[in-house]
Amino acid sequence: MTTRAGFIALIGEPNAGKSTLTNRMVGAKVSIVTHKVQTTRARIRGVAMEGDSQLIFVDTPGLFKPRRRLDRAMVAAAWGGAADADIIVLLIEAHRGVTEGVERIIDGLAELPHGRKVALAINKIDRVEAPVLLALSKDLNDRYAFANTFMISAERGYGVADLRKWLAEEVPESPWLYPEDQIADLPMRMIAAEMTREKLTLRLHQELPYQLTVETEHWQEREDGSARIDQIIYVSRDGHKGIVLGHKGETIKAIGQAARAEIEEFLGRKIHLFLQVKVRENWQDEAERYSEMGLDFKDGN
């Protein structure tokens, strides 16, 4: 049997649907998804099998004009993921078309190692009519020599099977790189922290989700098969702590319940989740916070 395996980087503007597509390909939620931009902060690998091919999807942070140190580290992680991959899939939002951000990304593609294969996936086709799609596809293919173009809805699953089949043929001949039953390449403590960050992002407004980070501090297995997980939510201001806690601690309680339910579902066993909020004014300038997130601190320079 000839086996194949390769890394497929999913890149695009924030909110394009990269994490949704990763999860759909893997068949499980390995990367968090919200309706807000800049949800994913580091590279997250999800593993999928298609026939004799192992497809390792590299979900990346969205590409945007970075301002803060954290932004720069995120964008560097995304381009780094693209540079290391066997195949790149650029996700575009069908209803937004060729934005300034998309133009900038296409310019960036020219700087990748020569001969890198890039496919185009126009996502969210459930939101537009067919003629719009055809015009958009032509416009984008005039701008860059994509190896192939797919029209998909990551959320509903349209067109995803075609994309997956094509990728399975395109990845290089290689032994499989992960055990067949592995679906993610991210420590469980990080996945658990991400799940809590997702609930915080969904629940808190405006800038606050961007001003916090979550870390799993302790993970203790218990004899009854359950686990106790202690996490710290770092916020940058005293006022933020109050908002995260909420009146009589109601906000943090709801967030904790939602996160626990999701971690339990992922692990298939009982979890006791304890959340603590700490004010750490300069967490965005601390190298350790970045390594906990899976980012390179130096990239933020």
Ligand X SMILES: Nc1nc2c(ncn2[C@@H]2O[C@H](COP(=O)(O)OP(=O)(O)OP(=O)(O)O)[C@@H](O)[C@H]2O)c(=O)[nH]1
Query: Which residues sit in the known binding site for GTP?
Result: 12-19, 59-63, 123-126
Cβ–Cβ under 8 Å, residues 74 and 39:
no
- Please state, in angstroms and rounded to a whole number, the distance separating the CA atoms of residues 297 and 285: 8
Nearer to Mg ion, 4 or 12 (CB): 12
Which residues carry a binding-site annotation?
12-19, 59-63, 123-126
Q: How far is the CB of 201 from Mg ion (least distance, A)?
A: 11
Which part of the chain contacts Mg ion (CB under 5 A), choosing from 32-40, 108-116, 141-149, 234-242?
32-40
Coil, strand or helix at 256: helix
Partner in contact with 154, chosen from ligand X, Mg ion, none, beta carbon below 5 to 8 Å by kind: ligand X
Does 34 bind ligand X (CB under 6 A)? Our answer is yes
Count the Cβ atoms, other than its own, within 10 Å of residue 109.
18
Does 6 bind ligand X (CB under 6 A)? Our answer is no
* DSSP class per residue in 184-212: B-S-HHHHHHHHHHHHHHHHS-TTGGGGE
Residue with the shortest CB distance to ligand X: 62
The pair of three-digit structure tokens given for residue 212, joined into one six-digit string: 């916090």
Partner in contact with 196, chosen from ligand X, Mg ion, none, beta carbon below 5 to 8 Å by kind: none
Tell me phi and psi for residue 155, to 5 degrees.
-70, -45
Does 16 bind ligand X (CB under 6 A)? Our answer is yes
Angle, alpha carbons 191-193-197 (nearest 5°): 115
Position among 13, 25, 39, 47 found at the interface with Mg ion (CB under 5 A): 39
- Please state, in angstroms and rounded to a whole number, the distance separating the CA atoms of residues 129 and 238: 48
Does 97 bind ligand X (CB under 6 A)? Our answer is no
Position among 5, 11, 17, 194 found at the interface with ligand X (CB under 6 A): 17
- Please state, in angstroms and rounded to a whole number, the distance separating the CA atoms of residues 184 and 233: 24
Q: Which residues contribute to the site for ligand X (CB under 6 A)?
A: 12, 14-20, 33-35, 37-40, 61-62, 123-124, 126-127, 153-156
Q: Which residues contribute to the site for Mg ion (CB under 5 A)?
A: 18-19, 39-40
